[in-house]
Structure 1
Amino acid sequence: MYAADTTTISQEVGGTGRSREISIGRRFYSQDYVRAKDGRYTWKSPSVLGKWSYGQNFPGVVRGEDLINGINPGFLRLGAFNTAYSADGGTFEGVRTTVFNGVVTVPELGERQAGMFFGTEQEDGSWRGSITWKLWVGPDNLPRRFHAVLRFAPTHGGGGVETMTMNTIYRGWGSPVKITAPPKHLITDDW
């Protein structure tokens, strides 16, 4: 992956969270906030809405075969190794699909800039758990949709199980993609 433009929407204690990250090579731009039901922003990064924080990606931050998604060969191998099943997936956005699905339990689950990741050996991570996943693939063998439910359990006892749901849609295969950096006047070093 050379460039990515990702938006994440999440339900947080204080309201709805929204983050957008743009990576181009090792350059990284981000905007994050949590907005309460009454419209107030309870958290912003950077502190001025509409601005972008800037940084440099470390090698391996945006790449790696340990990312949980429907286009990562490492995750696909892990899923296939742990008994994946296939069936008629119906039609998704006008394309007939086959759905592959399975469940895998891993000794490490975590998050980094590029997304959620798994580990096959327990490291210094504080979470382990299961990944229940489905991948819809078109007749051209290209992914169309990926859905996963991650159940996080603390590695060192205590605390309850946390759940996260991922839903990714893949479109525009073969179409040119242009990801551009935010304008310079919107970039700040405020994190």
Structure 2
Amino acid sequence: MKRVIASVTVATAALLVTAAPAQAAPAPADPVKALKSRLVAGQGVKFTELSTMKEEGKTEPYLKRTGSFQFGRAGIVASDISSKAATPVDPRIGQHNGMFAPGRTIRIGTTSYSQGGTYRDKMPSGKSWYKSPDGMTGDVAGWFSQLVNVAEPATLATLLKGAKQTRDTYTGTTTFGRLAKVSPWFRATLPLRSSDKTVVTFKLTVDRNRLPRQLTTSFPVTGIFDSAGWEGKTLSAETRYTGWGSRVSIKAPPANKVTTKLEDKDGLP
């Protein structure tokens, strides 16, 4: 009888061990390692964004953007970003009207396809996309949006180095110069700028998987334009990331809608 009981006990214990649910691997404590673990071909992340302009203590909404990044093993291989004015814009505002006009940029590798925005009145008949090898990530609207891309491991590492951490939030500063050294995204977004010494203040919050959830940055606009008209103005951008690991497939526009020539009616900005 004792042998029978012992056999039943051993068998039951073995069954319980086999039936026990597998424990999920703990999320990496380091956000950079967590990000690298999500760099899977065919997957990516989505984001929404609002930039604001501050002058003389008054803050105004500036631009809204939505988009997605597609990953490969080495990092971002494609992006698709749409932008528009955050508030209704007077069509008579002149030189900035093109920036505030709804626009979209698809970037695959280093080739950009731009629609609307500053190109809205420049397209030849029948064409709606302007193709630019080594093009920008978001047309001129990109200059006044989120310049810092924490979906790049090297960029994320640069921010976290020396940052102050409080639970899931990191705060600190970096500069245009540091970003230019490590970030292909930054260089393509802002190919020309007035000063690499421009200081960027940031606040980054990560989720329970240590992946970026929200990034807020701010910097003086004179870092882009060395002009008296921009003195005292500060641009801030708040970006929220969702769907890490979701399937993302970004493709070039139809070839018959693409042009590499513009009808420069009024002159590009």
Q: Does the aligned pair in 2 maintain the 1:68–1:115 contact within 8 Å?
A: no
- Of residues 135, 148, 163, the one that matches 1:68 is 148
Do the aligned partners of residues 107 and 184 (structure 1) sit closer, same or farther apart at CA in structure 2, a change above 3 Å counting?
closer
What is the root-mean-square deviation in Å for CA atoms of aligned residues? 3.7
Distance of aligned partners of 1:169 and 1:83 in 2 relative to their CA distance in 1, 3 Å threshold = closer
CA displacement, residues 38-64 of structure 1 (integer Å, 9 cap, x when unaligned): xxxxx7364369700012227xx77xx
Cα distance in 2, alignment partners of residues 86 and 173 from structure 1: 23
Q: Which has the larger radius of gyration?
A: 2
Q: For 1:156 and 1:189, how far apart are their aligned partners in 2?
A: 27
Distance 1:45 1:144, change over 3 A: farther
Higher relative contact order (CA 8 A, sep 6+): 2
1:57-79 alpha-carbon deviations (Å, 9 max, x no partner): 27xx77xxxx6222233333332
Considering fraction of residues, name the structure with more strand.
1
Whole-angstrom CA distance in 2 between matches of 1:141 and 1:114: 27
Structure 1, unaligned runs of 5 or more: 35-42, 88-97, 118-123
Contact 1:147/1:168 (8 A) holds in 2: yes
1:152-167 correspondence runs (5 A)? 152-153=221-222, 159=228, 160-167=231-238
Instruction: Report if aligned partners of 2:78, 2:250 keep a CA contact under 8 Å in 1.
Output: yes
- In 1, the alpha carbon distance for the partners of 2:106 and 2:226 equals 36
The alpha carbon displacement at 1:109 in A equals 7.8
Indicate the larger mover: 158-167 or 144-153. 158-167
1:148 Cα deviation after fit: 0.9
Pairs aligned (count)? 161
Deviations 1:100-153 (A, max 9, x none): 222335558889674358xxxxxx952232212111211111112212112244
Q: Indicate how the Cα distance of structure 1 residues 126 and 33 shifts in structure 2: closer, same or farther if over 3 A, else same.
A: same
* Contact 1:109/1:125, CA 8 A, preserved across alignment: no
Corresponding residue of 1:47: 123
Asked if 1:137 is matched to 2:237, the reply is no
User: TM-score w.r.t. structure 1 length?
Assistant: 0.64
Distance 1:148 1:71, change over 3 A: same
Instruction: In structure 1, give the amino acid aligned to 2:235.
Output: M
Contact 2:106–2:113 (CA under 8 A) maintained in structure 1:
yes
Q: Does 1:103 pair with 2:139? A: no
* 1:8 matches 2:83: yes
